[in-house]
Amino acid sequence: MGKFSFDGSKGKDAFEQMMEAKANRSNNGNFAKENIFFEWGDKDEHIVRIVGEYKWFKNHWINVSNFSSFKLLKDEAFEGDNRLPKNIICTNWDSETETNDEMGSCPVCKLMKIADNSLKKLGKSMNPEIKQFMKDLRSKCFPTNTFMVKIIDRGNPYVSEGVKGFKILRMPDTLVAAIKKISSDLGIDIVSEDEGIDIKISRNKAGNKTTYSAAPVYKGMSIKQTPLTEEERNYRDLDLSKFGGKEVDENAFASMLVDDVANFWGDAESDDGDGDAPF
């Protein structure tokens, strides 16, 4: 689990005590009708209170998107009762130890590795069109980082009508770094239930680029510490591991590949199994 906390024994003890208390009152339920994910909306600045450390996931966005027009799966892959999720959690990545298993079971990483090995071994002799296809395939399958943390949204603490609760803030790595810097600069455990603080998170849109920053909230000239109230301490807990994305069966994934990718996958499967180029 990723650490925001200042790396000192006091911060560590506070975090461990907080997590034990959370575990004792954890009561995860059905959140389908609750707005548990934080939304920026029209505002570019929000005040939030982080509660607990963040979780680092790796995901594969396998649908066609604004960031990649490369088509990996058939349209029907995302239709019907047995549709595939558009956001697949990478099962090669262990979010607890923050380590990657290159020999893991993630089918998207498997496809990425085959394309990468093909480019490394035969890239110089490839037909330019095939070479570009391999590059696009590798890029499409590359996992993206997803960071999540529990927060109290000071501007809108409600998760459903009349009900307050924790929300999940999804963060880019730049915002994670900015929050870590606050903790490091102040030398305190900013996520502690008793000694933590509110922070202001900001985003700045410039063309196609969005940057993020974070700063502590002050009361006068001093940092504003915000111990959790009794009500906040009894909010229903959120197990972040349940929100990182869905796994996908390899056979279900392979059966929905578009023809060009499916042929490539089939050739690789019928090869000698060492992940080398299948041609």
In angstroms, rounded to a whole number, what is the distance separating the alpha carbons of residues 65 and 256? 17
pLDDT of residue 69: 74
In angstroms, rounded to a whole number, what is the distance separating the alpha carbons of residues 126 and 30? 51
Q: Which of 18-32, 65-79, 202-216 has the lowest mean pLDDT?
A: 18-32
Helices (H) and strands (E) in the chain, counts: 7, 13
Going by C-alpha positions, the residue among 204, 205, 221 that lies closest to residue 213 is 204
When comparing pLDDT for 14 and 30, which is higher? 30
pLDDT of residue 9: 40
For residue 224, name the pLDDT band (cuts at 50, 70, 90): confident
For residue 34, name the pLDDT band (cuts at 50, 70, 90): confident
Whose structure tokens read 């548990």? 36
Residue 202 has pLDDT above 80, yes or no: yes
Q: What is the mean pLDDT of the chain?
A: 84
Contact (CB, 8 A) for 134 and 111:
no
Whose structure tokens read 């963060």? 171
pLDDT of residue 33: 61
pLDDT of residue 87: 85
Quote the crossing angle between the two packed helices 128-141 and 107-122, to the nearest 10°: 150
What digits encode the pLDDT tens for the residues 204-219?
998 888 999 999 999 8
pTM (2 decimals)? Answer: 0.75
In angstroms, rounded to a whole number, what is the distance separating the alpha carbons of residues 146 and 90? 11
Q: What is the DSSP string of 124-176?
A: GGS-HHHHHHHHHHHHHH--EEEEEEEEEESS--EEETTEE--EEEEE-HHHH
Contact (CB, 8 A) for 273 and 64:
no
What are the Cα distances from residue 46, in Å, to 138, 169, 176? 37, 11, 15
What digits encode the pLDDT tens for the residues 229-274?
999 999 999 999 888 888 899 999 999 999 989 988 876 665 544 4
